[in-house]
Amino acid sequence: MDFESLAKNENLERISRIESIKTGSCQKANLVLVLLGQKPSIGLTVYVDTEQEIAEEEEKIKGLKLNYKKISQEEKRGRYVAEFILAKGEDILNELSEVDPSRDHKKFGSLMGYPMSAIKAFLEGNCLSIEEEKELLKQHPEIVLHDFRLSKDNNKEEIETLERWNDLLKKEAPDLYSGLKQ
């Protein structure tokens, strides 16, 4: 088996592992994009019923061979919630662990892989309205994952980014992509 086939098999295995993590579909899709080098990092929240399951989920995360860090773990109303951050590179992981998303939107957005034009528009209040964004996205039904606000001025390029991410998800994680469509 050649190197390319080995890498493809390893990615399939890791994507299957991601699909089994007890978190939301959007977070799983974003994690696939980190794995495939399309996004630098992600914050991931896992919801389970027991502390033992937290350990099992952390083992799955460890098996992805990405840099990760558990940020918190707590019990909420009889369920356990654990927060993780994951990144391709350790330097990015360290940056993400030090940024406060509620205060430094620019740095957080760039670490999440959002286009700079969308980040700038968010900071300046120059995003499309929710209604305008919905109308624009209706013209692109293949886009099922869209986790940043579109700008008024550069939404064509931002849509291209979303199309690239969604095409990759459709190709590399078709079950996950189909689940997002519903």
* Domain final residue pick, 65, 99, 133: 99
Cα separation, 80 vs 59, whole angstroms: 16
Q: Are 32 and 176 in contact (CB under 8 A)?
A: yes
d(CA 125, CA 64): 37
38 and 84 belong to one structural domain: yes
- In angstroms, how far is the first alpha carbon of the chain from the final one? 37
Q: Which residues pair with 83 in a beta bridge?
A: 45, 72
Does residue 106 form part of some domain?
no
pLDDT > 90: percent of the chain:
85
Query: CA 100 to CA 155: how far, in whole Å?
Result: 26
Residues 59 and 134 grouped into a single domain: no
Asked whether residue 108 is assigned to any structural domain, the reply reads: no
Residue 37 lies in a domain: yes
Q: pLDDT tens digits for 115-155? A: 999 999 999 999 999 999 999 999 999 999 998 999 999 99
Is the model's pLDDT at 5 over the cut of 90?
no
Same domain, 143 and 81: no
The per-residue pLDDT of the chain, averaged, comes to: 92
Q: What is the pLDDT of residue 11?
A: 83
Last residue of a domain, one of 99, 127, 149: 99
- Domains in the chain: how many in total? 2
Helix (H) or strand (E) holding 168: helix 155-172
DSSP string, 116-127: HHHHHHHHHT-B
* Domain encompassing residue 67: 1-99
- Angstrom CA distances, 126 to 100, 117, 154, stand at 22, 10, 10
pLDDT band at 6 (very low <50, low <70, confident <90, very high): low
Residue 45 sits in a domain of what CATH number? 3.30.1360
Does residue 2 surpass a pLDDT of 70? no
pLDDT for res 1: 56
